Amino acid sequence: GENVEQHPSTLSVQEGDSAVIKCTYSDSASNYFPWYKQELGKRPQLIIDIRSNVGEKKDQRIAVTLNKTAKHFSLHITETQPEDSAVYFCAASFNDYKLSFGAGTTVTVRA
């Protein structure tokens, strides 16, 4: 299967600053990399994803980059706001139906 490592495990940023979360994966055949946001006591929700034929994708204040050679991908949140406080999970697919998740990053945005 796939092994996904996620860093850091916790991240505290000042409101308005940027946040970056990094993930590495082990299976070079992985071709789909989603990111999920989970607020306290809620379900995970997809916020952005990237496929292996794309190097970068942006959606308003969030962006994801993928380096297939190095087998790592990152989530970038710019101009952080209090509502960005949550746990963020990266994941990598190792077949059409199986995702392997990172352990999560707890992001706290300080006002």
Among 19, 86, 99, 107, binds other proteins (CB under 8 A): 99
CA separation for the pair 6, 1 (Å, rounded): 16
Specify whether the CB–CB gap between 104 and 5 falls below 8 A: no
Q: Which two tokens stand for residue 19?
A: 């946040």
Which of 10, 51, 79, 110 is the binder for other proteins (CB under 8 A)? 51
Binding mask of the shown chain, residues 59 to 78, with x at each position contacting other proteins by CB under 8 A: --------------------
Contact 102, 4 (CB under 8 A): yes
User: Footprint of other proteins on this chain (CB under 8 A)?
Assistant: 1, 4, 6, 9, 32, 34, 42-46, 51, 89, 91, 93, 96-104
